[in-house]
Amino acid sequence: MNELIYKFDEHGLYYSDKSQLIWVKKVLFVINAVEINCSASDGEVLSINGFLPLVRARMERIDIPNYSDKQYRIKFPIDPEEYVQGIGYDYFNYFPESEKYFVTDVTMNGMVYEKVLTKLSYDEENKVILLGTMNGNEKAVRINKNYIFGFDDENNLKYIYIQVDKIIK
């Protein structure tokens, strides 16, 4: 069984068996250092993995949102053939309306110095990580047993609810 694992000493989120994704042509979107792997043929979300330090996460209870099981596919903003295999594309460059739900601008002398992933929560008891902003007003879609995506009224991604199978401390 392929388990989604979070390993604290590496700050890593990954699947125990990565071989299932090797032979699939993927488009890779990145939110900070978290990768959203999508099938290049149809936009299906295949996996989410990457560097995700929870040291700055808010420790809080995160309830599972109400969701539908309808199929969700990322609609590519350009022809999938134009994406280069293995290159991570900044999600917010292609879907800028979602950025406000995930990051906060750090300014210096009135200029944006850095964009920091600040909308991050962790529920240790239930093994849940939440990226983004969840307030209950979203349309939520279950991607698979580990992910639920929440969208605003304009279909912009607001959050990624991640149910981890195994935590390694």
SS (H, E, C) 111-161: EEEEEEECCEEEECCCCEEEEECCCCCCEEEEEECCEEEEECCCCCEEEEE
Cα–Cα distance, 96 to 51 (Å, whole number): 22
Distances (CA, A) of 100 to 23, 119, 133: 34, 9, 9
* pLDDT, position 104: 81
How many residues make up the chain in this entry? 169
Contact (CB, 8 A) for 41 and 80: yes
* pLDDT, position 26: 83
* pLDDT, position 130: 96
pLDDT by 10s per residue, the chain, length 169: 589 999 999 999 998 876 555 666 788 999 988 999 998 888 889 889 999 999 889 999 999 999 998 888 888 888 877 888 888 999 999 999 999 999 887 778 888 767 777 789 999 999 999 999 999 889 999 999 999 999 999 999 999 999 999 999 8
* pLDDT, position 83: 85
- Termini Cα distance of the chain: 21
pTM of this prediction?
Answer: 0.90
